[in-house]
Amino acid sequence: MSHEVRTPLTSLIALARVFCLESEKLELPQEFAELLGQIQSGGEYLNLIMTNILEVSAQEAGKSRVEVEGFFVADWALDIGKILHPIAAPNGVRLEIEGPPDGEARFRTDPLRLSQILLNLGHNAVKFSGGGGRTVRVGISLRGENLEVCVRDEGPGIEPARLPSLFGEFEQSEVKGPRHDRGVRLGLAVVARNAELLGGKVRARNGEPCGMEFTVVLPPLIGA
C-alpha cells in the first residue's frame, strides 16, 4: 500500500510545488496561484494522513525503525516551513517559525520522525485556530544538549478534563474544527509514539489567554 499510494502522491506534491514556484516567476493571476497552493496543501495533508496510518500499523506490528543522522537544525526548520506555510495560508492563519539563532547548530536524531512530529502538531494548530488572521507560532531551540519544539495556536483550547487522554488513538477534543478537515484522529497519537521512540516526551497545556501549547523535548541520539 505504501508504494502504490505514496509514490504517485509524492510526485503530485512535487509537481504542485514546481507549479507554485513557476506561478510566482511568471506573475500569474493571484487566483490561479491560490488554486495551486490549495492543490499542494491538500496533497501534503493527504500524505500526512497516509504516513500516520502506516506508522501506527508498523508500530503495532513491531516493525518501527529509528534511523539516526546528524543535520543542521536551521535547514530542517526551513524545510518544514515550506510544507506548513501552504497549509496555513489557505486557512487564513499566519505561521511564524523561529529557529535557533546559530545557523550552524546540529542535532542527531531521526529527522523523518522529528518532521512527522512537527507536521502533525503544526497541522493541528492550523486546523483548530479557526482562521481569521490568527497566528500559529513554532519555536525550535536547543537547550543544552536537548532539542525543544514548541507549537502554540490561538484557538479555543481544550477542556482540561480531556487532556489526559489527548494522545490516545482516535481521540479528539470537543473543539470543533472545520467539518471537512477532521482527519482520522491519529496525529497526536503518532506524535506521542514518535517522541517516545526518540527518547523524549511531549506535553500539552492550555495557553494564556487562549489556545493550546504543545512542547516536545528530545535528547540527542547515538547511531549510524
Domains of the chain (ranges, CATH numbers)? 66-218 (3.30.565.10)
pTM of full prediction above 0.85: no
What pLDDT does 38 receive? 77
- Residues in a beta bridge with 202: 216
State the DSSP code for 79.
H
pLDDT in tens, 185-198: 678 888 999 999 99
Residue 191: all three cell numbers together: 506524535
The secondary structure element, H or E, covering residue 95 is strand 94-98
Three cell numbers written together for 70: 546528524
Is a pLDDT exceeding 70 seen at residue 176?
no
Predicted pLDDT of residue 77: 93
Secondary structure (3-state) at 221: coil
The CA distance from 224 to 221, in Å, is 10
- The reported pLDDT for the residue numbered 184 is 46
Among the residues of the chain, which ranges form H helices?
2-25, 30-60, 73-88, 111-129, 187-197
Beta-bridge partner residues of 70? 108
What is the pLDDT confidence band of residue 224, given thresholds at 50, 70 and 90? low
Q: Which three cell numbers stand for residue 62?
A: 513491531
